[in-house]
Structure 1
Amino acid sequence: MKNSSMKLTFIITPLMVVLVLGSYFYSLWAAEVKRRDEMPQDGAAALSRDLLKYHEQTGTFPEELRPLVGKVWDAKKKREFDQTGKVFQHGKVFYLYARRTPHLFSL
């Protein structure tokens, strides 16, 4: 009986070590994925590109960001603007837009 329990120990111990190490590495990976998903993504370059595309189409920058919906942006997607239409929220980042002249803007 003692000999068969030793054989069983040699089978179960490596399986338990693999299980513990697998759980540990999975928890590290899951924490990294969660941290990466919570990081704000900067979209200022894409927003500037879209504003330049609007400028090419109309010859002027818009007074507010709402006119981009339908001309440059997909109208089906819901966009979050403030009451003035100059503050745009995308994810966890807020973008403040100001038109300086018809051919100059700040973001």
Structure 2
Amino acid sequence: MKHTSHIRREFYKAVGYYLRITWPIFSTMLIVIVTFGLIISYVEGWDPLDGVYFGFVTGLTIGYGELVPKLPLSRILAIVLGFNGVLLTAIFAAISVRAIETAVRVTGGDK
């Protein structure tokens, strides 16, 4: 049991390390989600909080469908949000895989 907690600790340390390295990319992508959500809310006449909510739901490719952009500019921005979210998810998945590899290597868990 102690071995698995050591691997878990090393995993979280590695995730933190790689997130610090990629933070400029992550923060830019999060700013894009919030900004585009606010722009869409303005164009569509929604509440700003609804726009930010829509930005994250679209950016994380969840898409509940309760807020639907009707105007061409909003739809184009929603497509960009979707691509941004796919990239954000891919970067986080890559960090997680790399952190698992690092944790296993550091702890000798592959024996």
More helix by share: 2
Specify which structure has the higher proportion of strand: 1
Q: Same fold (TM over 0.5)?
A: no
Higher relative contact order (CA 8 A, sep 6+): 2
TM-score (norm: length of structure 2)? 0.31
Point out the structure with max Rg over C-alpha.
1
